[in-house]
Each structure stands twice: as C-alpha cells, then as structure tokens.
Amino acid sequence: MKPPRKLHIKSYGCQMNVYDAQRMADTLAADGFVETASADDADLVILNTCHIREKASEKVYSELGRLRLAKTEAFRAGRDMRIAVAGCVAQAEGEEIIRRAPVVDVVVGPQSYHHLPELLARAKREGRAIETEFPAEDKFASLPQPKPDTIRTRGVSAYITVQEGCDKFCTFCVVPYTRGAEVSRPVAKIVDDAKRLADNGVRELTLIGQNVNAYHGDGPDGRGWTLGKLLLQLAEIPGIARLRYSTSHPRDVESSLIEAHRDLPALMPLVHLPAQSGSDRILAAMNRRHTVRDYLSVIDRFRKARHNIAFSSDFIVGFPGEREEDFSATLALVSQIGYASAYSFKYSPRPGTPAAEMQETVSAIDMDERLERLQALIDSQQSAFNKAAIGTTVDVLFERAGRNEGQMVGRTAYLQPAHVIAPTDIVGRILPVKVASLERYSLLGELAAASPPGPAASFQISIGA
C-alpha cells in the first residue's frame, strides 16, 4: 500500500473559504491525502486565497515566495512538493499567478474544487494546470461528504454553505466576479448535510453564503424556500441546538427570517448585517440598494421580533467621494444602533470593479484618521456590550480545552469566547456560566449549576448595548 500523501491547506479571508478548505480536504482524502499542520513537510500545499482587499491578495505572493524555498528544499531531499493556488485570487488572476510565481503547479477557482484530483494529475503530466471556468455541473453534488471521524475532529460547530455567489454588484466588491451569480442549494441536500453533522456530534450550524438571506433553494414541495423556512426545518434536527447564518444583505431581510428569530429559540440572537456607510449619498454610489432609513427599519423589525437581539456589521471608510459629513453620518449610525461588534475596513480599489474607476479618491491620511475614529467608537460599544455580561449567567456551548491547565472554552449566544475551569467532558454541552470578569474580549467565569447532558438548555442573557 502506498503511504498517504500529506496535504496542507492555508486559508485566508471569509468563512466560506474555511468551509471550502474542508471540502477540498474531503475531496483529496478520497485520493489518499491526509492533512498535516506544516507546509514544509507537505506533498501538496494549497493556498486558499482572498481577493476582497489588495492587502489580502498580496499576502499570497509573499507566501508563494516562502513556499518556493520549501519546494527547493523538498526537491533536494528527493520529495516532490506540489503547490496549488485556490480561492478568489485564483479566480481573478488565473494564469497571471503562474507568470508572477512559476513555482505554482495548479490554479483552481472556487467552482472547480471537485476537479482537484484530475488537475493534479494534469499538472504532473503537463507541468501546469489551470481551471477558472464556471463549470456547468453542480460542484456541491460532486464534492464528497466528510467521514464521521473527520466531522468529530472538526468540532461541535460547523459551517454549511447554503448559497454561493452574489447578484448585488456593490460597486466596490469583487465577489460577483470571483464567486459568480447567486446559486442556492436545494433544501434536501442541506438537511442531509446537517443531519450527518448532527449525528456526529455537531451542535451548532452556521449557514453561510455571500448573500445568505437571498437564499431561495428548491424545497421538497417543489417551491423556492426562504432562509427563514430553511431555518425552521433545520431546527427540527435532533442534536442541533444552535443556528446562525452569515452574511445578510439589509435589502433581502424578508418576513420569514424575522419570524424565525421570533419563533426559534435555537436561532441565535446575533445578526451580522453589514451597513457599509451611514451616508445615503455614499450608499447610492456603492450601489447598496438601501438607504440609512431602510437599514434602521430592518433593525427595528428584528428588535421587535426578539428583544435581546444584537447586531454586528461591516463598514468601509474612505470610499471615493466620502466627505467628512458622510463619515460623520456613519459615526452617527453606529452610535444610534450600538453594535455588539463590527468590522471596519479602509476602502481598497479592486481591479475590474466600477468604484476602482471613480476619480474622487480620499487621501491615505483621511482614511487612516477616519478608520481610527470609527474603530474607537466600535471598540467602546463592544466593551460596553461585553461588560454588560459581568454578573449575569449566560449559556455557553463548550468547544474545546483552553490554553491554561483545566480551562475549557466555549461561546455565548453572541459569539463571545467564555472560559471556565471544568472537566473536558463538557465539550458539546450548553451550560450556564456565571460571568465574573472580562479579559480583553473573553468572558471569564464559572459553571453556574450542573445541567443534565443533552440538547441545549434554554438560553437567556440580558444585554446592555
């Protein structure tokens, strides 16, 4: 029997890349590859890349410089190391990657991961293999499912891609070009995946998609199902105690999603709803298709449905044409909402997007200064939100052992990391934790009471954001 070949995948960027990396590992496991933690001793290294901002995509080339040396070392030691570039940089740059970094053997776009074994064989025969087409067949139907052991080692919280691609065409964003048009997976396939995960110890599912609440997959009744309806179905699966979804577009929040938040205790009360800007003028230039008022009214609908709901968001500062008064409007929106957390980015022009052609750019100094002010405001909100948990009892889903002896780590309903001293067999259980203090963004506390094993205890937290 041939010894297994070693595979190392390094993922950058979003949750979908984490999910895709697992699907690539599952595909290659069927071909005799086992995962290794180090690139240096791998037979195949895959860089699963992100193209969303310039900094993210440039990281690939510095990593390829390092891998060139590792490949030379491997060659000297009589080993054949192969290097593949996957993800959105692969899709956007294709052949250009091999021109800039001849060390690369395979370039594969996100729609072709099920072709990886054959691309590796082609690279061996022909020296190189590139596939960045959007193939006609459904990659999800061709990607193998993880084995039970693999699911168990990946932990109690798992992602499922339910929707991929985007038709929104925000003027700053590369996603519609790198991930293609919006496609939703059928309900039955998602339910099958969820059941397999639950049967092997997964307690929390996060449904992911670039525009996840545009989900409209075929239901078993032959109709298009909404995300809200899908969530209701998944909540029925024994063992699934927590449901989340990401990332939503404010324009696609329809009533069944709001009702799901009202009716499903398993649907966690944290909604990631990117706003991008608090200025209607900038939102229009971004082609976001919603105004500040629309955004606020969506927030209001969520809050009316679930009193303890909290929000996170994404913001871009320094979009072309953004003046001080536009930026002040962003600060005002953030102040009005009070986020549990939020990401903020400096605008980065992406080749091929309409905004990259816009002339009225914002200076680097102004961008830095605005980012700093926005991040200070967001940080203060996040701290206030976390501080409000001190002294309360919150339900925590325990995921793994912590770094310190005897310490176990889990997450609250709001994704705050929580640390307690407890036995290791609490992994996979949702237990009440009395929060005593904060260490940076983590809650420290102790188990509040012994709870019987099994599905989630009901969760309760009062928030003060």
Q: Which residues bind ligand SF4 (CB under 6 A)?
A: 166, 168-170, 173, 175-176, 210-211, 249
- Regarding 290 and contact with ligand SAM (CB under 6 A), the answer is no
As measured in angstroms, the least distance from the Cβ of 253 to ligand SF4 is 13
| Cβ proximity to ligand SF4, 169 vs 441, nearer residue | 169
* x-marked contacts with ligand SAM along 113-142 as a string, rule CB under 6 A: ------------------------------
- Regarding 19 and contact with ligand SAM (CB under 6 A), the answer is no
As measured in angstroms, the least distance from the Cβ of 14 to ligand SF4 is 10
| Cβ proximity to ligand SF4, 75 vs 343, nearer residue | 343
As measured in angstroms, the least distance from the Cβ of 441 to ligand SAM is 20
As measured in angstroms, the least distance from the Cβ of 74 to ligand SAM is 34
| Cβ proximity to ligand SAM, 290 vs 419, nearer residue | 290
As measured in angstroms, the least distance from the Cβ of 447 to ligand SAM is 36
53 binds, among ligand SAM, ligand SF4, none (CB under 5 to 8 A by kind): ligand SAM
Helices (H), 270-345: 280-285, 292-305, 324-337
As measured in angstroms, the least distance from the Cβ of 249 to ligand SAM is 5
410 by DSSP, 3-state: which? strand
Cβ contacts of 396 within 8 Å, gap of 6 or more: 410, 411, 412, 418, 420, 430, 431, 432, 433
Identify the burial level of 115 via C-beta atoms within 10 angstroms of its C-beta, where 0-12 means exposed, 13-18 middle and 19 or more buried: buried
- Give backbone dihedrals phi and psi of 194, rounded to 5 degrees, phi first: -65, -40
As measured in angstroms, the least distance from the Cβ of 228 to ligand SF4 is 19
| Cβ proximity to ligand SF4, 31 vs 314, nearer residue | 314
Cβ contacts of 186 within 8 Å, gap of 6 or more: 217, 218, 219
Picking from 403, 460, 395, the residue whose alpha carbon sits closest to that of residue 429 is 395
Give the residue, chosen from 6, 8, 51, 53, that forms a contact with ligand SAM under the rule CB under 6 A: 53
Q: Report d(CA 86, CA 166) in Å as an integer.
A: 19
As measured in angstroms, the least distance from the Cβ of 345 to ligand SAM is 4
- Give backbone dihedrals phi and psi of 343, rounded to 5 degrees, phi first: -100, 145
- Residues between 221 and 260 with contacts to ligand SAM, criterion CB under 6 A: 247, 249
350 binds, among ligand SF4, ligand SAM, none (CB under 5 to 8 A by kind): ligand SAM
Structure-token match 């791998």, residue found: 42
327 binds, among ligand SAM, ligand SF4, none (CB under 5 to 8 A by kind): none
DSSP 14-39: SHHHHHHHHHHHHHHHTTTEEE-S-S
316 binds, among ligand SF4, ligand SAM, none (CB under 5 to 8 A by kind): ligand SAM
Give the residue, chosen from 35, 41, 263, 314, that forms a contact with ligand SAM under the rule CB under 6 A: 314
Listing from the earlier edge strand, what are the strands of the sheet with 157-161? 157-161, 204-208, 242-246
- Regarding 274 and contact with ligand SAM (CB under 6 A), the answer is yes
* Other C-beta atoms lying within 10 Å of the C-beta of residue 458: 9
Q: Report d(CA 316, CA 319) in Å as an integer.
A: 7
Task: Count the residues of the shown chain that bind ligand SAM, applying the rule CB under 6 A.
Answer: 18
| Cβ proximity to ligand SAM, 172 vs 245, nearer residue | 172
428 by DSSP, 3-state: which? coil
Task: Put residue 413 in one of left, alpha, beta given phi > 0 → left and psi -120 to 50 → alpha.
Answer: alpha
Cβ contacts of 314 within 8 Å, gap of 6 or more: 247, 272, 274, 275, 276, 342, 343, 344, 345
- Residues between 346 and 375 with contacts to ligand SAM, criterion CB under 6 A: 347-348, 350
Give the residue, chosen from 245, 295, 345, 414, that forms a contact with ligand SAM under the rule CB under 6 A: 345
- Give backbone dihedrals phi and psi of 427, rounded to 5 degrees, phi first: -60, 130
Helices (H), 292-406: 292-305, 324-337, 364-387
As measured in angstroms, the least distance from the Cβ of 164 to ligand SF4 is 10
319 binds, among ligand SAM, ligand SF4, none (CB under 5 to 8 A by kind): none
* Cβ atoms 429, 451 nearer than 8 A: yes
176 binds, among ligand SAM, ligand SF4, none (CB under 5 to 8 A by kind): ligand SF4
* Cβ atoms 244, 158 nearer than 8 A: no
Region from 68-76, 200-208, 233-241, 340-348 binding ligand SAM, contact rule CB under 6 A: 340-348
Q: How far from 80 is each of 5, 42, 60, 75, 100, CA to CA, in Å?
A: 11, 9, 21, 6, 21
As measured in angstroms, the least distance from the Cβ of 237 to ligand SAM is 26
Look up residue 395 and give its amino acid: D
As measured in angstroms, the least distance from the Cβ of 318 to ligand SAM is 9
Residues that bind ligand SAM (CB under 6 A): 14, 52-53, 172-173, 175, 210-211, 247, 249, 274, 276, 314, 316, 345, 347-348, 350
